[in-house]
Structure 1
Amino acid sequence: MNATTIKKQLTRSFKAMGLIVCSVLLWGSCKDMTELNINPNGVGEEAVNPNLIMPTVLSEAARIYLDLGYQVTAGIMQHTQKDAWFSDHNDYDWTGSQSWNAYYDVLRNNELLYKRAQEEGMEFHQGVSLVMKSFMFGAITDLWGDAPYTYALKGELGGNENLLPQFDEQETIYRGIIADLEQASSLLSKSASEYEGIVADVDVYYQGSPDSWRRFANSLLLRYYLRVSEKLPDFSKEGIERIANNPAQYPLILTSSADATMSFPGRTAADSWPDNTVIDDTGGSNFRRRKMCATLVDRLQELADPRLAIWAAKVEIPLVVSDEFPAGTDEIVDGKRHVSPDVVGNAVVDTDPEYVGLPPSFSALPSAYNLNPTPGQTSFNPHVSFVNDIYTATSGPLLKARLLSAAEVNFILAEAALKGWNVGSASTYYENGVKASLEAWTVGGQYADYITHDDVAYAGTVAQVIEQKWVASWTATAEAWFDYRRTGYPALIAGPAALRSVLPVRFYYMQDELNINRANAEQALQRLEKTAYSQADNENSAWSKPWLLQGTGKPW
């Protein structure tokens, strides 16, 4: 079947049923697929073309990952804070609100993609499906710990072990992810002309490039080998050394042009950058409530980091506080707000004339920070930095879901080298990681100056590598959180209004899963390690440690 024939089939199928047919949306992690409503005008699962399913799998996975990295984990990792609707973002007040349903919905669609690709002998699509299976299951176990895996996608086969699947142990899931990625790398090792059925337009990441997908698979292998390095050091060392020393067999994402990203067309709410102010039924309030966090802003200013101007907006009205002003002074002069010390009183203020971040978990009324004259739900604080105005648009060259970057890969290899593993030069990887991130954010021309800064120039420490990796994770902070849990870096401190005095390490299992699949969930709960920060008599805590962290003494 040639590309022209496939495109004709896609056109006919889209007209008949639309993309909704490929979204095999199911409820929970255990719903029986035989209960689906059938579209009488649609193509049955047994005949659907894999190219109809792929764009839904890729786009939904990317949106989930972006939502994770730009929302809750950006609050945890102190890239951003919110000044309204803030308690989950700033204070970790989650109480079981996170749900993995959307993750498993993508996985079910992806399972159908793999099944149909196998039946049609489409190896490229099989490889892509295995990469996405690994990516999504990786996110689930990274976030929650033990989770349904072996039996999670077999509800149509019946039986309680499928309808109410057991929670696999974290080690089992990580080993399965790594095995699937090894298989995916092999499946994706041929040139594009050797595959059947590739349609570039339906691949919203790499436009049908097997080589790019192979690099994505191998780079994910590095991510997960490093993820388990504290628990399985010999296994991780062997895997990372094998990949690093066999570039022909394991090509990697090493330059920013190869990053795994998804752009947004920006035509509708469904395909636009989230929190834009153009197509936003909240009237732009989602954008308005998001502020830069002082932790990130202050550090980027200390480093004279050129990325700050790309990510953050300057304060609209700087504060000027001086004891030379007469008592009671509070007025706008030449675009600045002049305030006398008696007006400030005991309030915490930041008088930086350009960038001011909102401190992490600052108070029960963060909108009042820095003498905001209009605190509250409808606040528009002129004295704190919003995110850059580019994020008000529906699309743009920098508005992408970023799944995995060259910066991350180089920092992984730098950390491996610092462990003493045989992978190459730690300093070279570190510097390449910094350069790749600057290039991805259009400020690569400032690399030569930036890398000579006292705190940026290579110092040979894991703390420095992880700090730069944390900075580079802007809009993709989930990976920074996972690194923090594993290493304790950067050494972030919870704010005074946070639910606990330390940062959380996992998501709560959602209440629906605990109610419906109670017996299996209970077993998973018993495998969590309660800590001094877990709620009394409740293993299902964001401060209880899953297998990955148990016995490591990290991050606290």
Structure 2
Amino acid sequence: MTIFKKNTVLPILFLSLLFSCKDLTDLNVNPNGVQPETVNPNLVLPTVLTETGKAFVNLGFQNIAGVVQHTQKDAWFSEHNDYDWGGDQSWTTYYDLLRNNDLLYQRAVALDMQFQQGVALVMKSMIFGLITDLWGDAPYTEALKGESGGIAPKYDSQDVIYAGILADLDKASTLLSKPKASYGSIIESADVYYAGDPAKWQKLANSLKLRYYMRISAKQPEVAKAGIEKIVANPTQYPIIDDASADATMAFVGNNSGDSWPSNTVFDISGSNYRRIKMCSTLLKPMQATSDPRLALWAKKVEVPLAVDATLPTGTDKIVNGVRYLSPDKVGTTQIDTDPNYVGLPPSVSQLPSSYNFNPTPGQTSYNPHVSYLNEIYMQAKGPLLKARLVSAAEVHFILAEAAQKGWAAGDAKTHYEAAVKASLTAWGLASSYTAFMAQKGVAYDATLAQLIGQKWIASWTNATEAWFDYRRTGLPALATGYAAKRKALPLRFYYMRDELNLNKTNSTAALDKLEVTANSQSDGKNSAWSKPWLVQGTGKPW
């Protein structure tokens, strides 16, 4: 039997009476936290911006860079090189960002903070745009409603999502059109993109409109044409990112692994995230051919070049003066690259890419002296060039050059093309190289879409998602898969994740039924990376 002492019972009785008089919801308030109903939008803004910037880098410097053959990996490579994605590509991170952004917007509306409202609409557009670009149909009009909207929102078609994005960006441009002094609630340090400059945010809003108009141009050419021409015809009302100083970028702080460049060796002591990434030969070769000044900034020269010498005795394999010499019998029919300066890793070259180019120590932890590594700047946690690059003047001018090539009233195609190349060089600190580079054969404007998209593909380094979406829309550059790739064509979309297929079965099934099965997707069924979403159905692109 348990015995309670008098001095124990009385305090317990007092506490129970005290708490019985309080609303239980009062007890659930964290006195050290910030409640959604009262939070200042400026406290939410940095999280939305930084997490979005990291999300773009995690795509554009990681697996999507493998898809568009900017880079390849020689360890833990199957996703990156071979599109071995499986069926569980989650969009949870992106919808988490959207929920934070929605809180930012709702609180900005409640407090009549028009700058923050405009920024939130831009970010909403950018993130929803990324979701539909990656997956296809997705929850949009019924998303972000929580309990009021149920846990199984309908999927909106891509045309509805793009139309909503463009409308939000139009609204954002208006909200951001006033002088900075007109907004009384800007905290510059909270805005890690533009330090609270509404003029640059307005340029970003209108530049994103150009991006999405061009995205839908094959499916809705009249809408795209009218939208782009309206922006070009009204530069005062619709300013755009027209020089590199207004690029939408986010620098990395470099204080810990979570806010540092992803391949850094400062917090990754093993160095494996840096060591496994190589520039793909598909990108490296055309940059070499045109003496592209960005190559030396993005990649290192090969440490030990290879040389095959027919005059050498049979069985020769030796290093002389920093060059590894091989007799022809040692090479046989094995693929080899003897370039003395730069050697890239071919796409999906084998099921053991670390062995490429006669690496003497193949394996997950190998160091290959016969393939170029990325420049040492990518070993750093932070740096002036280590930025998330979301939208750039280069992209904007390439879009306008393409619009002009279509015959739309978007200015002169050659002028925009040259401005695009110059903007890219300027963004990488290479503006002084522009004149010599533009004189190179293959770079001097030739009025072809292949050249334009090819240079845009190069300029999207570390932001490879845009290169993928351009490839999907145009079939350019004419990228070919490698030997070990999962399919003999590049993928077109992400898989819907298993949780969605199970928990939101009715709506996800309806979205799946709208995908177009292709010869490359048949073994997966409709939920395949090789099924065609609305955006490319009926276009004959990219394959």
Asked if these proteins are the same fold (TM beyond 0.5), I'd say yes
Deviation at 1:536, TM superposition (A): 3.4
Find the counterpart in structure 1 of residue 36 from structure 2. Answer: 45
SS at match of 1:499: coil
Structure 2: distance between partners of 1:393 and 1:299: 27
Find the counterpart in structure 2 of residue 267 from structure 1. Answer: 255
Q: How many residues end up aligned between the 2 structures?
A: 517
Q: Any residues of structure 2 matched to 1:97-108 within 5 Å, and which? A: 97-108=88-99
The answer on 1:121 being equivalent to 2:136 is no
The answer on 1:328 being equivalent to 2:319 is no
SS at match of 2:389: strand
Structure 1: distance between partners of 2:371 and 2:148: 55
Structure 1: distance between partners of 2:268 and 2:504: 37
SS at match of 1:548: helix
Find the counterpart in structure 1 of residue 59 from structure 2. Answer: 68
Deviation at 1:271, TM superposition (A): 1.3
Q: Any residues of structure 2 matched to 1:396-407 within 5 Å, and which? A: 396-407=383-394
Find the counterpart in structure 1 of residue 219 from structure 2. Answer: 231
Find the counterpart in structure 1 of residue 147 from structure 2. Answer: 156
Residue pair 1:256, 1:405 contacting (<8 A) in 2 also? yes
The answer on 1:349 being equivalent to 2:340 is no
Q: Which amino acid aligns with 1:149?
A: Y
Find the counterpart in structure 2 of residue 395 from structure 1. Answer: 382
Structure 1: distance between partners of 2:456 and 2:240: 17
Structure 2: distance between partners of 1:265 and 1:477: 22
Q: Which amino acid aligns with 1:186?
A: T
Find the counterpart in structure 2 of residue 358 from structure 1. Answer: 345
Q: Tell me which of 155, 161, 166 is aligned to 2:154.
A: 166
The answer on 1:276 being equivalent to 2:264 is yes
Q: Which amino acid aligns with 1:536?
A: S
Structure 2: distance between partners of 1:475 and 1:306: 16
Deviation at 1:311, TM superposition (A): 0.4
Deviation at 1:38, TM superposition (A): 6.5
Q: Which amino acid aligns with 2:349?
A: F
SS at match of 1:134: helix
Q: Any residues of structure 2 matched to 1:196-235 within 5 Å, and which? A: 196-235=184-223
SS at match of 1:540: coil
- CA deviation map 1:302-335 (0-9, x unaligned): 1111110010011111111111121111111111
Q: Which amino acid aligns with 1:492?
A: L
Structure 1: distance between partners of 2:378 and 2:324: 27
Deviation at 1:471, TM superposition (A): 0.4
- CA deviation map 1:457-476 (0-9, x unaligned): 11111111100000000000
Pair member with larger Rg: 2
Deviation at 1:208, TM superposition (A): 0.2
Deviation at 1:449, TM superposition (A): 1.1
SS at match of 1:124: helix
Q: Tell me which of 392, 398, 402 is aligned to 1:415.
A: 402
Deviation at 1:156, TM superposition (A): 3.3
Structure 1: distance between partners of 2:77 and 2:55: 20
The answer on 1:510 being equivalent to 2:506 is no
Q: Any residues of structure 2 matched to 1:414-433 within 5 Å, and which? A: 414-433=401-420
Q: Tell me which of 454, 459, 478 is aligned to 1:467.
A: 454
Q: Which amino acid aligns with 2:540?
A: G
SS at match of 1:470: helix
Structure 2: distance between partners of 1:60 and 1:38: 26
Q: Tell me which of 357, 360, 369 is aligned to 1:382.
A: 369
**Residue 404 and residue 46 in structure 1: after superposition, are their counterparts in 2 closer, same or farther (change >3 A)?**
same
Deviation at 1:341, TM superposition (A): 1.2
Work out the percentage of aligned pairs sharing the same amino acid.
62
Structure 1: distance between partners of 2:199 and 2:87: 40
Structure 1: distance between partners of 2:483 and 2:31: 56
Find the counterpart in structure 2 of residue 29 from structure 1. Answer: none
- CA deviation map 1:164-213 (0-9, x unaligned): 11111110000000000000000000011101210000100000000000
Q: Which amino acid aligns with 2:308?
A: V
Find the counterpart in structure 2 of residue 110 from structure 1. Answer: 101
Deviation at 1:535, TM superposition (A): 2.7
Q: Tell me which of 134, 138, 157 is aligned to 1:147.
A: 138
Find the counterpart in structure 2 of residue 249 from structure 1. Answer: 237
Structure 1: distance between partners of 2:264 and 2:318: 32
Structure 2: distance between partners of 1:539 and 1:516: 18
Q: Any residues of structure 2 matched to 1:481-492 within 5 Å, and which? A: 481-492=468-479
TM-score, normalization: structure 1?
0.92
Structure 2: distance between partners of 1:300 and 1:544: 32
Q: Which amino acid aligns with 1:532?
A: A
The answer on 1:299 being equivalent to 2:286 is yes
Find the counterpart in structure 2 of residue 13 from structure 1. Answer: none
SS at match of 2:66: helix
Unaligned runs of 5+ in 2: 1-24
Structure 2: distance between partners of 1:471 and 1:43: 44
Find the counterpart in structure 2 of residue 23 from structure 1. Answer: none
Deviation at 1:537, TM superposition (A): 6.5
Structure 1: distance between partners of 2:222 and 2:72: 39
Q: Which amino acid aligns with 2:425?
A: L
Find the counterpart in structure 1 of residue 121 from structure 2. Answer: 130
Structure 2: distance between partners of 1:102 and 1:340: 53
Residue pair 1:261, 1:403 contacting (<8 A) in 2 also? yes
Deviation at 1:97, TM superposition (A): 3.3
Structure 2: distance between partners of 1:427 and 1:179: 30
Find the counterpart in structure 2 of residue 476 from structure 1. Answer: 463
Q: Tell me which of 172, 188, 192 is aligned to 2:180.
A: 192
TM-score, normalization: structure 2?
0.94
Find the counterpart in structure 2 of residue 12 from structure 1. Answer: none
SS at match of 1:382: coil
Structure 2: distance between partners of 1:62 and 1:254: 21
SS at match of 2:112: coil
Residue pair 1:123, 1:196 contacting (<8 A) in 2 also? no
SS at match of 2:534: coil
The answer on 1:438 being equivalent to 2:425 is yes
- CA deviation map 1:433-461 (0-9, x unaligned): 00000111111111111111121111111
RMSD after superposition = 1.2
Deviation at 1:345, TM superposition (A): 2.0
Find the counterpart in structure 1 of residue 516 from structure 2. Answer: 529
SS at match of 2:390: strand
**Residue 537 and residue 270 in structure 1: after superposition, are their counterparts in 2 closer, same or farther (change >3 A)?**
closer
Structure 2: distance between partners of 1:385 and 1:518: 47
Structure 2: distance between partners of 1:464 and 1:197: 45
Structure 2: distance between partners of 1:443 and 1:491: 27
Structure 2: distance between partners of 1:62 and 1:39: 30
Residue pair 1:127, 1:187 contacting (<8 A) in 2 also? yes
Q: Which amino acid aligns with 2:168?
A: D
Q: Tell me which of 269, 276, 297 is aligned to 1:310.
A: 297
Structure 2: distance between partners of 1:279 and 1:207: 28
Residue pair 1:437, 1:472 contacting (<8 A) in 2 also? yes
Structure 1: distance between partners of 2:70 and 2:451: 17
Structure 1: distance between partners of 2:523 and 2:306: 44
SS at match of 2:338: coil
